[in-house]
Amino acid sequence: MLEGIFAVSVIVCALLIARRQNRMIGAFIVLFAAYYYIGWLFANNMTPWQLNYYSLAVSALLVGVLMANLLVHYRRSLAPQSKPNDKAFAAELQATLKQPANFYLKLIVLSLYAIGVLAYVALIALYGVPVLNIGDRSAVPGYFTYIIGVIWVLYPYLYVTLERRHVLPATALTFFILLTMGYRTPLVITILCFIFLNLKYQRFVISRRMKILGVLLLFAVASLYPLIRFQEDPQALITLLGNLDLPPELFLLAPFILVFAEGSSVILGIHQMLPSIGPQYGAFTLSGFATVLPGEQIHSRTLLSYWLGRTNWQESSTTSSLLGQFLIEFGYWGSIVCCLLLGFFMALGSQRYFESTDRMKDLPFVLVFGLLTIGIHTGVLDPLVVYALILYCLVLVADRLGGPLAQFVKARYRA
What is the DSSP secondary-structure string of 64-86? HHHHHHHHHHHHHHHSGGG---S
pLDDT at 57 over 90: yes
pLDDT of residue 157: 87
- Please write the tens of the pLDDT for every residue from 173-220: 998 888 888 777 888 888 888 888 888 888 887 777 777 777 776 666
Which domain covers residue 124, as residue numbers?
A: 99-413
pLDDT of residue 83: 52
Q: 167, 203 in Cβ contact below 8 A?
A: yes
Give the Å distances, CA to CA, from 312 to 263, 265, 391. Answer: 19, 18, 35
Give residue 410's pLDDT.
61
Q: Looking at residue 409, what is its pLDDT?
A: 59
| pLDDT given for residue 342 in this prediction | 96
Residue 398: pLDDT band with limits 50, 70, 90: confident
Is residue 276 scored above 70 in pLDDT?
yes
How far is residue 301 from each of residues 216, 259, 266, 289, 345, measured CA to CA in Å?
28, 16, 11, 11, 26
What 3-state DSSP class applies to 6?
helix
Tens of pLDDT, residue by residue over 110-146, are: 888 999 999 999 888 888 877 776 655 666 777 777 8
| pLDDT the model gives residue 233 | 53
Residue 58 is assigned to a structural domain of this protein: no
Nearest partner of 375 among 322, 310, 330, 414, judged by Cα: 322
Q: In angstroms, rounded to a whole number, what is the distance separating the alpha carbons of residues 375 and 1?
A: 31
Would 71 be classed as within a structural domain? no
Please name the residue ranges forming H helices in 154-207: 155-161, 164-181, 184-201
pLDDT tops 80 at residue 86: no
pLDDT tens-digit readout, 18-44:
999 998 999 999 999 999 999 898 887
Res. 304: pLDDT tops 70? yes
Within a domain: 380: yes
Which residues lie below 8 Å from residue 250, measured CB to CB, with a gap of 6+? 257
How many structural domains is the chain composed of? 1
Q: How confident is the model at residue 2 (pLDDT cuts 50, 70, 90)?
A: confident
pLDDT at 52: 93
Q: Which residues make Cβ contacts (< 8 Å) with residue 161, sequence separation at least 6? A: 101, 105, 106, 109
Q: Which whole number is the average pLDDT over 335-361? A: 90
Q: What is the model's pTM?
A: 0.86
Residue 357 is given by DSSP the state -
| CA–CA dist 43, 223 (Å, integer) | 15
Other beta carbons within 10 angstroms of residue 137's beta carbon come to: 17
Q: Please tell me the distance from the alpha carbon of residue 127 to that of residue 302, in angstroms, as a whole number.
A: 25
Within-domain flag for 23 = no
Round the CA-based radius of gyration of the chain to a whole number and report it.
22
Instruction: State residue 35's pLDDT score.
Output: 93
Q: pLDDT value at position 315?
A: 60
Tell me, yes or no, whether 184 lies in a domain. yes
d(CA 140, CA 130): 9
Residue 4 is assigned to a structural domain of this protein: no
How confident is the model over 63-76, as pLDDT tens digits?
999 999 999 888 88
What one-character DSSP code corresponds to residue 182?
T
Residue 120: inside a domain? yes
Element (H, E) at 90: helix 87-98
- Asked if residue 378 is part of any domain, the answer here is yes
pLDDT at 329: 94
pLDDT at 69: 94
Q: Provide the mean pLDDT of the chain.
A: 81
Whether the per-residue pLDDT at 414 is higher than 80: the answer is: no
Of the pLDDT bands very low, low, confident and very high (cuts 50, 70, 90), residue 403 is low
In percent, how much of the chain has pLDDT > 70?
77
Scanning 291-358, the segments in alpha helix (DSSP H) are 300-307, 322-355
Confidence category of residue 339, pLDDT binned at 50, 70, 90: very high
